[in-house]
Each structure stands twice: as C-alpha cells, then as structure tokens.
Amino acid sequence: MSDRFFASDNASGVHPEVMAAIASANAGHAVGYGDDPWTASATKALGRVFGRKSSVYFVYNGTGANVLGIQSALRAHNAVICTDCSHINVDECGAVERFTGAKLLPVPSPSGRLDPARIEPLLSVSGVPHHSQPRVVSITQATEVGTVYSVDEIRELSRFCRRHDLVLHMDGARISNAAVSLGLGLYEASGKLGVDILSLGGTKNGLMFGEAVVFFRSDLADEFEFIRKQGTQLASKMRYIAAGFEALFATDLWERNARHANEMATYLCERLDTLPEVEVVQPVHANGCFVKLPQSAIPRVRKSFFFYVWDEPLGVVRFMCSYDTTREDVDALVAAIGDAVGGVQ
Amino acid sequence: MSDRFFASDNASGVHPEVMAAIASANAGHAVGYGDDPWTASATKALGRVFGRKSSVYFVYNGTGANVLGIQSALRAHNAVICTDCSHINVDECGAVERFTGAKLLPVPSPSGRLDPARIEPLLSVSGVPHHSQPRVVSITQATEVGTVYSVDEIRELSRFCRRHDLVLHMDGARISNAAVSLGLGLYEASGKLGVDILSLGGTKNGLMFGEAVVFFRSDLADEFEFIRKQGTQLASKMRYIAAGFEALFATDLWERNARHANEMATYLCERLDTLPEVEVVQPVHANGCFVKLPQSAIPRVRKSFFFYVWDEPLGVVRFMCSYDTTREDVDALVAAIGDAVGGVQ
Amino acid sequence: MSDRFFASDNASGVHPEVMAAIASANAGHAVGYGDDPWTASATKALGRVFGRKSSVYFVYNGTGANVLGIQSALRAHNAVICTDCSHINVDECGAVERFTGAKLLPVPSPSGRLDPARIEPLLSVSGVPHHSQPRVVSITQATEVGTVYSVDEIRELSRFCRRHDLVLHMDGARISNAAVSLGLGLYEASGKLGVDILSLGGTKNGLMFGEAVVFFRSDLADEFEFIRKQGTQLASKMRYIAAGFEALFATDLWERNARHANEMATYLCERLDTLPEVEVVQPVHANGCFVKLPQSAIPRVRKSFFFYVWDEPLGVVRFMCSYDTTREDVDALVAAIGDAVGGVQ
Amino acid sequence: MSDRFFASDNASGVHPEVMAAIASANAGHAVGYGDDPWTASATKALGRVFGRKSSVYFVYNGTGANVLGIQSALRAHNAVICTDCSHINVDECGAVERFTGAKLLPVPSPSGRLDPARIEPLLSVSGVPHHSQPRVVSITQATEVGTVYSVDEIRELSRFCRRHDLVLHMDGARISNAAVSLGLGLYEASGKLGVDILSLGGTKNGLMFGEAVVFFRSDLADEFEFIRKQGTQLASKMRYIAAGFEALFATDLWERNARHANEMATYLCERLDTLPEVEVVQPVHANGCFVKLPQSAIPRVRKSFFFYVWDEPLGVVRFMCSYDTTREDVDALVAAIGDAVGGVQ
C-alpha cells in the first residue's frame, strides 16, 4: 500500500511555510479568544483580500463554518437550497438541520452545480405557513464533483438570489482551487460576484486547522461573535489559526498550492484518459478527478492506493490531488490503474 | 503594560515539547478524521492512562467537550445540575441549552463545589412531567474559583449519583492542576472516583488546541462518533491534536506543567497575603488565585497587567498562573499590586 | 361559490355524536393535564382497541403527534426515511427537523408508498459518522395521494425494519379510511402488522381537535410524558379531547364515518371517469380523489368549489371527501367540472 | 373527597356561554387552519380590544403561546430574564430552552415580580461573546404567587426595557384576573403599558382550549405564522378556538368571570385569616390564595380537598378560585381547614 493518498486533499500535512508561521506565533503570552496581535494582523490581511465591506471570523473547521455561516442568515422555519451531493447535505451528519432547525431542499445535480431554473420551482411555497420558506442558496466552489461554476453562472445565481431575497452562501472548502481555475483572485471569485457568505477553506490547501467565515453583508455578521461562541467554534488560542491563515492567504501561497494541485489533477486525468476502459466522467476544473473504472478493477487499485468510491453502482471513483501531490505520485497511481484495468481484459 | 498575563492560563503558548510533537507529526500523507497512526497511538496511550473501560475521543475545545459529553448522557427534557459559577452555566454562551435542549439548574456555591445536600432538593420533581428531569450532575475540577474537590467529596457525589441514576460529568479543563493538587494520577482523580464522563483539558496546560472526551461507561459513548461529527467537533487533520495529547499526557509533562503552575499560584498568594488591604478569598488548591483588592486599586494594577475582575461589586479579582509563569512574573505582579494598594492608603 | 368544500376532510365540522360527548364532559371540576375520569376512560377504551402492549397519549394535532412520536424513537444524528410527498416532509414547515434535529431522507414515490427496495440503498451509510444514521421509517396510511398500503406491504416493511433495527412510524391522519378500505380493525391495520408508533388521527374523521400517539413498544414510550409536555402538546383541559376520542373510536363511529367518506370518493371518481378530458390518476383506495384536469378548466371549477391543486404543472387536483360529504355535494362538483371541461372543448 | 377543586383554575369546565359559541360554530364546512369566518371575526374583535397596532394569533395552549411568542423575539444566543418561580422557568419542562435554544436567567423573587433593579446587574454581560445576551424580559400577570404588578411597576419595566433594547413579554395566563384587579381593560393592562408580546390566556377563565399570542410590535410578528406552524401550534379546525375567544373576550364575560374568581379568593383569604395557625403569606390581588398551614394539617385538609402544596418545607399551600367557585365551596374548604387546624391544637 502506497503511503501517498488520493483519498482527499486533507490527507496532506501542513505546508512548511504555514508550519513556520505557526511556530513563530509561539512567542510569549497572548490574550485568548482572538484578542491577540496575530489574529488582528490576519484579520486585517484578509480584510485587504476580501474588501472593505467584508468581515472575517476564524472558526475550527469547514462544517463549523458552513453551519454557523448559514445559521446567521436564517431562522428555523426557513429552508436551504443546495445540491443533492453537497457536503452540507451528505457529509456533515445533518449538522445544518441540527444547528439551525431549518430544512435542506436538495436538488438533484449531476454536474454538482445549481442554477436559477432548478431553484425557481422551490420558491412556489413562498408565504404559505405549511412549508419551510427558502432563505439561503448554498453552492460549493469548486463543487463536490470537481467542477467549477463559471463567473457568469455565479453572477446569474446572485442576481436571482437578490431578486428573491435569498442569501447566497458559498462553501469554499476548495475556493482556492476554483479561483485559480477561473484565473481570479479570492474576492473576485466570491464577494465580487455577489456571494453573501463564504466558508473560506484552507485546511485542504495546506493549513493545519481552521476555516474562516467571510461575510460580505454586514447585517448578516451582526451577531456572529455570539453564534460562533455558542456554536463551540471559538478557539481560545486563536493565534495559531490566525498565523496559518495569514501565511496562506496574505501571500501567494494559496495560489501556488492550488495551482499545483489543479495541475496534478489535469495531468492525472489526461493520463487516465488514454487507458482503455477508463472514462473521465467530469471535466477537470480543479483538483479532483472523477473516473469510471471497471468494477473488478477497483479493489485491485485499492490494494495499492487509498481512495474513495464516489458512486458504487456506477463504478465511479474520486481521486483528489493536493498541493504536495507529485508527478511521481500520479505516475504510480496511473500505473496501478493500468495494471488493474489490463488485468480485467 | 507587561506582556506577561495573569488573565488566564490559556494566555500561554504551546509548550516546546508539544510543539515538537506537532512538528514531527507533519510527515507525509495520513487519512483524515482520525484514521491515522498518530491518533491511533495517542488514543492507545490515553487508554493506558484512563483504564481499560475508558474510551477517548478528541475534539477541538473545552466547550465542545462539555456540550457533546453532556449531550451523550441526556435527552432534551432532562436537566443538568451545576454550580452557578460553572463554566457551562456562565461562560459558554448558553451552548449546553442550545445543543441539548436541556435545562441547567445552577446551584449557588461560593466555594465552587457541589455536594449531595445541594442536589437532593432538586430531585423532588422526579417523575412529574411539568418539570425538567435532572439527569446529569456536572462538576468542575479544579473549580472555577480555584478550589479542588477532595477525593472523599467526589466519591460521595458519585455514590449519590449512582443511587439516583444520575450521570456524573467532570469539566476537567484544569484536571491536571487538580490531580497534582490531590497527589493523584489522572485516572485516580476521575474515573476511579466514579466520574462517568470527563472533559479532559490540555489547552490551558500547554497544548495548542484540542480537548478529549473520556467516557468511563461504554453505554454513554455508544454513538459519540456521530454526536461529535454532527456537533462540528471532528477534526479532519486530527493527527496534530493527537500528537499534542500524546506528548502531554503519555509522559509526565502534564504533571510537570501543572505542578509548576500550582506552585506559582501558591507563591503569588503567599506574597499577596502579606500586603495590607489585600485579602485572599479562596484557598489556593490549584493554579488560580482569587483576591479582594480595594476598588480604586484595580484600575491601577490593570495599567501594568491584564487580568479579569471576578466579582465587580466585591472587588474580587482572579490571577491565573500557567506552566510558563515565572517567579519574576509573580514578583512583578506583586510589586504592581503593592504600589497600587500603597497608593490607596 | 359553494359552501361545501372538497379541499380537505378537515373542512367538515364536528360530528354530532362527538359534539354531544364533548358537551357531556362539561360537568363540574376535573384535575387538569389528563388526570381526570374522561381521560382515564378514553385511554382504557383505546387500550382495548389497540391491545395490551399499547400505550396511548393524547396530543393536540397531527403535526404534534408526528413530531413527538418520531422524537421518541431517535436522536439528533439519526435520519427519518419517508416519501417525498409525505406530510412530515412537505406540510409541517420543517417541524421534524426543528424538534428532533434529525434529517429527513425523502424518497421519490409517485404512488405515495415506500418499500424495502427504496429504503435499502439509504442504509449503506450505516456506521459512518459523516452521515445521518437512518433510524425511523415513516409511512402514511392512507397515503397523501389517496392510496392505501396493503397488509402484505406493511408486513414486508415491518419485517425489513426489524431486521435493520429501524422503527416503523405510521402517520395515521387517515388510518380510519385505510382500515375500512382494507376491511380491518384499527389495531389489525397498525400494531398487529408491526407498526411501532402510530399517529392516530381523528380530526379529519369528525373530531373537534386532538390526536393520539399510540406506542406498540413500551421502550419507545418510556419518557413520552416529558416529551409531550416539553413539546407544548399537553392539554390542560384534556377531558374534552378524551371525550371526543372515546365517542369516535370506542364505538363504530370511526368506521361509519370513514366508510361513508370512502364511498363518496369512489362515487366521485367513478363519475369523473366518465367525463372527457378528465383522468383519474391514482386508484381510489380511501377518501381522496386525484384527477388530471385541463389547465384552463381548473380556474373555472374553482369559481364554484374550493379545492387544492396537487401538481400545478401536470394539472392534477385533489378532491377530499369527508364523513359529511353528500351525494348531492358530489353531483354538484361533477356538474361544475363537466361544465368547465365542456367549456374547454 | 369533595368534587370541587381549588388545585387550579383550570379544574373548571367550559363556561356555558363559551360552550354555546363553540356549538354554534359547528355549522357546515369551513376552510382549515384559520381561513374561516369565525377566526376572521374573532381576530377582528380582538383587534378592537387590543388596538390598531396589535396582531393576534390563536394557538393551542399557554406553554405554546409563551414559547412561540418568546421565540419570535430572540435568537439562540440570547437570554430571557424571568423570576425563579415563573411558569416558563418551573412548569414547562424546559420548553423555552428546548424551542429557542436560549438561556433562562431566573431571578429570585418572593413577590413573584421583577423590577429594573433586579434586571440591571444581568445586563453587565452585554456585548461579551462568552455570555448569553439578555433580550427578553418575561413577566407573569397576575404572578404565579397571586400578586399583581401595579400600573407603575409595568410602566417602569417597559421604559427600562425600551432603554436597553429588551423585549417585554407578559405571560397573561391570568391577565383577566389582573386587569379586573387593576380596574383596567385588557389593552390598558398590557400593550398600553408597554408590553410588547402578550400570551393571552383564557383556558383558566372559562375557555375549553386555546390561547392567543398578541403582538404590539409588528416587527416581532412578521414571521409568526411560520413559527406557529413549525411549532405544532396551528389548529386545523381553528374555528372552535376562535368562537370561544370571541365569546369570552369580545363581551364582558372575561370580566365577569375574573371578577367572580377574584372575589372568591378575597373571601377565602378573609375567612382563613381569622383561623388560628393559618397565615396568609401573599396579598390577594387576584384569584389565588397562598397560606401557610401547620405541616400536620396539610394531609388532613387533603383528605377532603385536592390542592397543591406550593412550598413543602415552609408549609405554604395554594388555593386557586375560578369563575365557577361558589361561596359554598369556599365555606366548605374553610371548614375543612378549620377542622384540620383545630385538630392540630
């Protein structure tokens, strides 16, 4: 079994520049719960990245960021529109329902993307007390199936949301990969396109831990400090989260890391595309590679590499590339798949 | 203003041995969410510390540990008996009520400690559907006012709880300081005395982040993996929490750190006791020092040192000592207080 | 506009025998919250109906019965499997999610019915902490689209649930109509087939208000008295609910009422079937009639009769018959539809 | 054992005028969930009672009214300030915490009343994320110990609330008794004094079931229709609740009933006051009578009359009078107490 994983981009460790920043924050005493110089500096730096109207709050992880960000925007009788494969719908053990009391309205979406045409029919319940009232539209960028919303697609969604008094939330666990894919900065890929709340993920791009909730509408952020504390997501030694964030996002490290991960995914898919019986089933916009393998090949490849089966019946598997995935890692995986598929024939 | 803080023991940074362990965990790829060798090793090591019947789960922080540990033991129509000054009652922004739906029944306790005589009257509602049914007794060790329950006190509480089918939860944010104070090991100071669920705190004793929930009754832990995930407290790169825990608790570091902090608090209180107009209002069992200052002295001391006023009307302030508090730090604080009090005269 | 409604069977008032029972309960003082002779008598009578192992609790309404019954069987990290058109999924403003914290897993079902083949794939997440764990299967009898599960279908479901440690909940808002349709008694149509928790509805069959939660497994009912009180569903003057229930369910009134309603629905559909351009789209098993009308006919019929459009794009409308729907009511509706459809041609 | 109860004013049945109104609402079909002529008429009538700015919503019961009214005004990180003996704190099985996620901050109050001096210290946590933020002040009128806030007391509280951006909620389970006691109309005793949200109780004053939430600030009522539905408190056959409310509150029936109940309580206390060893411990402002009996007398009286012990250790018991309590009922109770106390001597 290889010790290089394509299971998730969170299998990678901490990027050395991030680790150095964390170590350098380990100096003397600091007031807890974010009232320290590192948090002040990182918050300011991220404010420069995300614009004057943004407000930035550090939390522990992505589920925390998603849940608390969404909670800020709705009440228990509201509903959140998302895709059926979204992380909040599938992979957070029902945390959004649990924390907010609200209903998720998952929309089937093979491409991982939402669009106004899929959302509009869900608004017909508007004003009728028997039904949860849609209030938040949550999109994931890059999506759970490795695709990326285009600039126009997000603009169209945000205009639609504004017209219907809906809040647009972006689960940006892989926003860096998406921004690089679009050739945009982080703000240009989020708030500037009309996103109201961003879960800014860094753990999958080289951080040790921590996520940020970025609000682009101050009214939604009003009471977030209380929501975060009550939501168990206020870190006492916040300086270590902050130092990591500044190292990643106030430099070009986020971009370098994401670009590399994306390139590796592209390289992987290009190579896999040449193999017989292997079908790339999603365009590679970011750092994920979704391919269909012959059923019998899957356990064979799994003997050498750890990865996840995405769709059991269809034989679709997911390979995630990371900032530290090497060309040699990819070559080894492709070789293992080639052997497994060859053995099938 | 001094850059040495007596505000809280979480003002200290990460102990160098812990930082080294974290850095050494930064090696290659690892499966996320706790399925990695570091988590396996730390879990095993803590299992040795807490005994065969224990089960150990890492979470992000103390509020998370308290809330989710307590949630494991009750349903929404239950109540949690605690002191009025307990962290869960005062300092977690209502997180227990929010997560569990249960009611807190805070009992006035100047010493920070509960005892059966204060609990028993609250059980008279038992079986009557109009009233929240007591199910958990939560104690803090060392307490929020720096005192420590004796072995006999905890044994008496745990016997009482067993007799009344109550679950005994211990908020052990400073369990290391208490254990050192009692001259006991960590298990001897918790599970062995009849505690059912322990929030095992390390952040205040030299960790970067992370807390553990230790169950001494397997039936209570049954579904904790789901409770933790849904509760937003499952870390994806858990290896860094685990490495820190192993460095602190599978060696004698927890004890060295706690002993030093306790000694500094004792030294501080001994010195303060000699000052005129300064009254030590709680016995120093652990690493906290609670003293009454003349009202006008408080702002003067605050010009030099950052600390918290515990009881505004009474003029009681709190000084917390940490693993890295030095004798010089204490001397400087005492000097500042002496000046301020002198100025009062 | 006619003052006879086919919008819902709850448009009917209180059956005279029920009203008489309520009036006769208005005699003197009685202890509140169910500790009165009427509640004792009704509970005993329903115990005879539902068998020795049953326990019966009165609540205010169907949403309350569904939510609190389901809450009794699960924890917040669980999931409830139901149809996409189920009342709990569509018509209770997200109450189940709100009260229980659990996730609904709605399964598309044109016939309104669930079966093991649709449920089984949802169990693949079992034991994985990232996903809500299925714990309750909720079926509606008669279903929201007017169909009725057969005896064999429910038996198969209950066996499947037992095998997978799932709790089978039945939303019996129209259990009377279903039982009559199946030629069974109320117990024979619920607990005897393996249902664990029944929401026993009567309001749509002639009661003024009130619903009962019937447990067929005592372990699930253990703490229901607290769940009901905390859930705001404990009536202080419970005698009036109880008196109505006894009048309806401890006599053959439930059966007479339901039989009449079912017959009217059958008669209505038979007559509509003869009209051109009108298509009966669901078999008439109970008291609901679902037909497809030409789009332009719908507003015309609505000028004379109040009813609900079930599926806007498809032009499917719902007509519900009640215990007091008369043959003349049906004839008048059919005439109005005939006119509207005729006008279309 | 007498069949006349002093346990609670909800031991009385339905007043004949209310029962007649309910019976007369049982006429033909009506649209469910409040869209019927009786609800329209009752809502309009109550609007005349409570003023142009009021909005009125019917729910099932007092706990539902309290919980959902309060929920309308706060978020989960808020706190509700109330007395320690308040119904929401003691007698609703933790429903407020459960539904709202908020914390109750109960203030000790032997008189059952709050005042600004008791509230102000709780506001010191304002703005600090570690602590639940006070947002609602909830008072009960008449109080749980039979006293009544004066006009000046409520005005002072409402001014204080406005100054501190707090919402003033009144649990008016016995607002009729209080209004009569103060010589005021219902609006004059609530909204006009600055109350923002009123739980308008009628069940204890002659209704069969139902309570109303009256908002005097439209911003708080904005989404109440959804909150009510999701909170399981929307009645399908609402006409029967509405008819009762109109019969009680749009006539002088509420006043006649309450006046009689108050008079009986006054008469009872006057007579008890003449007995040796019986001490009236609260002034009789409304329809409750709180007296201290010798401990050994209590079980003796209980052989003849059902009532509640209010404070076990002190020997204080509660007698509630109702609209249908007769002078003979009171005389019989006084005789029984006289015998029991005489027997003590």
* pLDDT tens profile B228-237: 999 999 999 9
> Averaged over A263-276, what is the pLDDT?
96
A229 vs D contacts (CB less than 8 Å): 77, 129-130
Query: What residue ranges in D27-107 does DSSP mark as E strands?
Result: 55-59, 78-83, 103-107
Measure A28 CA to nearest chain D CA, in Å: 24
ipTM: 0.97
Residues of A in contact with B98 (CB under 8 A): 230
- A344, pLDDT greater than 60: no
- How far is residue D256's CA from residue D323's CA, in Å, rounded to a whole number? 8
Interfacial C residues in 234-293 facing D (CB < 8 Å): 234-237, 239-240
pLDDT of residue B344: 45
Residue A187 — very low, low, confident or very high, per pLDDT cuts 50/70/90? Answer: very high
* CA atoms C333, C335, C339, C341: torsion sign: positive
Query: What's the confidence (pLDDT) of residue B343?
Result: 55
Residue A94 near residue C56 (C-beta atoms within 8 A)? no
Q: What angle, 0 to 180 degrees and rounded to 10, lies between the N-to-C axes of helices A327-344 and A297-304? A: 150
- Residue-wise pLDDT for C252-278, tens only, equals 999 999 999 999 999 999 999 999 999
Q: Give me the percent of chain A exceeding a pLDDT of 90.
A: 97
pLDDT tens for A201-246 read 999 999 999 999 999 999 999 999 999 999 999 999 999 999 999 9
**Residue in C100, C128, C230 to test binding to B, most B beta-carbons within 10 Å:** C230
Chain D hits for C1, CB-CB cut-off 8 Å, are none
Residue A345 pLDDT level (bands cut at 50, 70, 90):
very low
Q: Where are the alpha helices (DSSP H) in chain A?
A: 16-24, 37-50, 62-73, 87-90, 95-100, 116-119, 151-163, 175-182, 218-221, 224-230, 239-249, 253-273, 297-304, 327-344
Q: Identify which of C37, C73, C69 has the alpha carbon closest to the alpha carbon of residue C56.
A: C69
Confirm or reject contact between D10 and chain C (CB < 8 A). Answer: yes
Burial of D291 (0-12, 13-18, 19+ CB in 10 A): buried
Is the pLDDT assigned to residue C342 strictly greater than 90?
Answer: no
Higher pLDDT, A252 or B1: A252
The pLDDT assigned to C345 comes to 43
Average pLDDT over residues D246-251: 98
- Three-state secondary structure string covering B146-185: CCCCCHHHHHHHHHHHHHCCCEEEEEECCHHHHHHHHCCC
Are D137 and D158 in contact by the 8 Å Cβ rule? The answer is no
pLDDT of residue A300: 95
CA-closest candidate to residue A230, choices A103, A137, A100: A100
Q: What is the per-residue pLDDT across B85-103, written as a single tens digit (0 to 9) for each?
A: 999 999 999 999 999 999 9
Average pLDDT over residues B273-282: 94
Which amino acid appears at position C289 of this protein? C
Confidence at residue B342, expressed as pLDDT on a 0 to 100 scale: 81
Chain C residues inside the 8 Å CB shell of D95: 229-232
The pLDDT of residue C204 is above 60? yes
- Out of A4, A13, A31, the one facing B5 most closely (by C-beta) is A31
Nearest CA-CA partner of C141 in C195, C65, C220: C195
Closest CA to C49 of C191, C153, C166: C191
Inter-chain residue contact D132 with B94, CB threshold 8 Å: yes
Residues D137, D160: Cα–Cα separation, whole Å: 10
A59 to chain B, closest Cα gap in Å: 10
pLDDT tens readout for residues B154-202: 999 999 999 999 999 999 999 999 999 999 999 999 999 999 999 999 9
Say yes or no to pLDDT of D343 above 70: no
Q: CA torsion sign, B328 to B330 to B331 to B336?
A: positive
Per-residue pLDDT of C293-334, as tens digits, reads 999 999 999 999 999 999 999 999 999 999 999 999 999 999
Q: How far is CA B52 from CA A11, B284, C56, D231, in A?
A: 31, 33, 43, 45
- Taking the C-alpha atoms of residue A98 and residue B103, their distance in angstroms, rounded to an integer, is 18
Question: Shortest Cα distance from C153 to chain D (angstroms)?
Answer: 30
Cβ distance of B76 and C230 shorter than 8 Å: yes
The pLDDT assigned to C227 comes to 98
> How does the average pLDDT of chain D come out, rounded?
96
Distance from CA of A13 to the nearest CA of B (A): 5
Contact across the interface for B129 and C75, Cβ inside 8 Å: no
Q: What is the pLDDT of residues C136-178, one digit of tens each?
A: 999 999 999 999 999 999 999 999 999 999 999 999 999 999 9
Q: Which residue has the higher pLDDT, B103 or B312?
A: B103
Residue A339 backbone class (left: φ over 0; alpha: ψ -120 to 50; beta: rest): alpha
Residue C221 has pLDDT above 70, yes or no: yes
The Cβ of residue B197 has, within 10 Å, a number of other Cβ atoms equal to 29
**Is 50 exceeded by the pLDDT of residue C286?**
yes
Q: What share of chain A is helix, strand, coil (3-state, %, to 5)?
A: 45, 15, 40
The burial class, CB within 10 Å (0-12 / 13-18 / 19+), for B165 is exposed
Residue from the list D14, D29, D232 with its beta carbon closest to the beta carbon of C95? D232
Check if A131 contacts C (Cβ < 8 Å).
yes
Mean pLDDT of A17-32: 97
In this predicted structure, what is the pLDDT of residue C343? 55
> In Å, what is the CA distance from A151 to each residue of A155, A205, A256, B310?
6, 22, 21, 53
C59 token code pair:
């609540």
D226 touching chain A per CB within 8 A:
yes
| Integer Cα distance of B79 and B166 in angstroms | 10
**pLDDT tops 50 at residue B345:** no
Per-residue pLDDT tens for B50-82?
999 999 999 999 999 999 999 999 999 999 999
pLDDT average, residue stretch B243-270: 98
Residues C146/C179, Cβ–Cβ less than 8 Å: no
Average pLDDT value for residue range D1-28: 95
Mean pLDDT, range D24-33, rounded to an integer: 96
How far, in Å, CA of B299 to CA of A149, rounded?
A: 55
- The shortest C-alpha distance from A196 to chain D (Å) reads 20
